[in-house]
């Protein structure tokens, strides 16, 4: 059951990243998509405190990454059952660092589809955290 959930979450991550790539690709190539992205950016910036949400999401991702990372690193290393814990730890940290780095470095002035990419990366981090937690839960049962 856990392998099925892991594969489904991995598939969702790939789908989300593919959609985000397509939005970015077409927003630079097609005028209609660019207009939609610019309109959506302006609408979101006018209606929502985007900077506050973004900083809150960065803080939550950083805290969760540290908690899950420490739990993976300490608990699973002491068990020494398998080397897969290191891969999961590295992937969790890499996805979190990519999200935080992208959020802090880029903006809508540099990348038109910034909000779409940011949401896609945030969902990817969320799914990766779910996969890490599932692995921690099943590892305790072994």
d(CA 84, CA 67): 18
- The whole-number average pLDDT for the span 37-41 is 91
Element of type H or E holding 58: helix 50-79
d(CA 102, CA 107): 9
Q: For the segment 121-135, what is each residue's pLDDT rounded down to a tens digit?
A: 999 999 998 888 887
CB proximity list for 120: less than 8 A, separation 6 or greater: 16, 17, 19, 20
d(CA 116, CA 24): 8
pLDDT of residue 65: 86
pLDDT band at 46 (very low <50, low <70, confident <90, very high): very high
Instruction: Please check whether residue 124 is in contact with residue 17, taking contact to mean a CB–CB distance below 8 angstroms.
Output: yes
> pTM of the predicted model, to two decimals?
0.86
More confident site: 87 or 38: 38
CA atoms within 13 A on the CB side of 127: 19
Q: Above 80 in pLDDT, residue 78?
A: no
d(CA 125, CA 133): 12
């Amino acid at each position: 059951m856990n392998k099925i959930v892991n594969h489904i979450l991995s598939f969702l991550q790939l789908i989300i990243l593919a959609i985000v790539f397509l939005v970015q690709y077409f927003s630079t190539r097609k005028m209609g998509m660019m207009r939609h992205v610019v309109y959506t950016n302006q609408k979101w910036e006018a209606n929502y405190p985007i900077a506050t949400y973004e900083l809150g999401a960065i803080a939550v991702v950083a805290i969760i990454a540290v908690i899950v990372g420490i739990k993976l690193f300490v608990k699973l290393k002491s068990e020494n059952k398998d080397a897969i814990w290191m891969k999961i730890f590295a992937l969790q940290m890499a996805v979190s660092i990519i999200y935080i780095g992208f959020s802090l470095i880029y903006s809508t002035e540099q990348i038109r589809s910034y909000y779409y990419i940011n949401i896609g990366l945030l969902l990817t981090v969320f799914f990766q955290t779910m996969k890490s937690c599932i692995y921690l839960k099943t590892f305790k049962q072994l």
